[in-house]
């Protein structure tokens, strides 16, 4: 009879956390009142202050942040100190996004200006942390003998192009941002799955006779 490796189980839990987070964020729009549009309005606006149903997106942000912090902790040897620290900052900033909400997307609805400002600052930090975190990990793996990975190139390009696209086409801001989140989820899920596979190869499951 075989027991499950703790490292492999940990990897599965992290992957499950990302999936729960992504599902929460992408299912949040149907809970929104009119005139919310998932094409025009951002994900943060589905977690806005005073909006019914905003709890689901806030939960998704929280799970995303916690999953990244956990992954950065277990990957610190492979990612290096810098990569782990920057991705850890991503996770903390994502948690701040959940804690401090965006202003409501409805007009003439009162909101806390300070909370909205903190949210915007945290959202900016998330964007920079993801881009620099991916770059730091890519350079670390390159230094240790790895090659250029397709997912790193796509993530870095998206982190530059998509924010520019949201500025040029604000009517598509929600759609473009969801594309950016999808790329980020795929990147982190790939890292978590790869981490679990490598640990499985290096530490075969023990047998219990």
127 within 8 A of 159, measured Cβ to Cβ: yes
Asked whether the predicted pLDDT for residue 205 surpasses 70, the reply is no
Report the chain's terminal Cα–Cα distance, integer Å.
6
Fold of the domain built from segment(s) 6-202: Rhopdopsin 7-helix transmembrane proteins (1.20.1070)
CA distances, 172 to each of 90, 148, 156, 165, 169 (Å): 24, 31, 20, 8, 6
What is the tens place of the pLDDT at every residue in 113-167? 999 999 999 999 999 999 999 999 999 998 887 788 999 999 999 999 999 999 9
138 within 8 A of 82, measured Cβ to Cβ: no
pLDDT band at residue 15, thresholds of 50, 70 and 90? very high
What is the tens place of the pLDDT at every residue in 50-107? 999 999 999 999 999 999 999 999 999 999 999 999 999 999 999 999 999 999 998 8
The three-class DSSP label of residue 52 is coil
What does pTM read for this prediction? 0.89
């Amino acid at each position: 009879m075989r027991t499950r490796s703790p490292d492999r189980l940990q990897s599965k839990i992290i992957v499950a956390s990302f999936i729960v987070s992504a599902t929460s964020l992408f299912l949040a729009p149907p809970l929104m009142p009119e005139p919310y549009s998932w094409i025009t309005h951002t994900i943060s606006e589905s977690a806005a202050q005073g909006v019914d149903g905003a709890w689901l997106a806030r939960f998704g942000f929280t799970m995303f942040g916690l999953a990244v912090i956990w992954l950065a902790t277990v990957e610190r040897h492979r990612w290096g100190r810098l990569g782990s620290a920057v991705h850890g900052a991503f996770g903390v900033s994502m948690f701040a996004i959940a804690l401090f909400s965006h202003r409501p997307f409805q007009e003439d609805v009162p909101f806390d200006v300070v909370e909205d400002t903190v949210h915007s600052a945290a959202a900016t930090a998330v964007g920079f942390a993801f881009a620099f975190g991916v770059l730091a990990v890519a350079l670390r793996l390159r230094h240790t003998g790895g090659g250029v990975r397709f997912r790193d190139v796509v993530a870095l390009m998206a982190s530059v192009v998509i924010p520019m696209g949201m500025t040029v086409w604000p009517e598509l801001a929600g759609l473009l941002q969801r594309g950016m989140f999808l790329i980020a989820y795929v990147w982190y899920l790939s890292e978590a799955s790869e981490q679990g596979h490598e640990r499985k190869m290096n530490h075969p499951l023990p047998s219990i006779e």
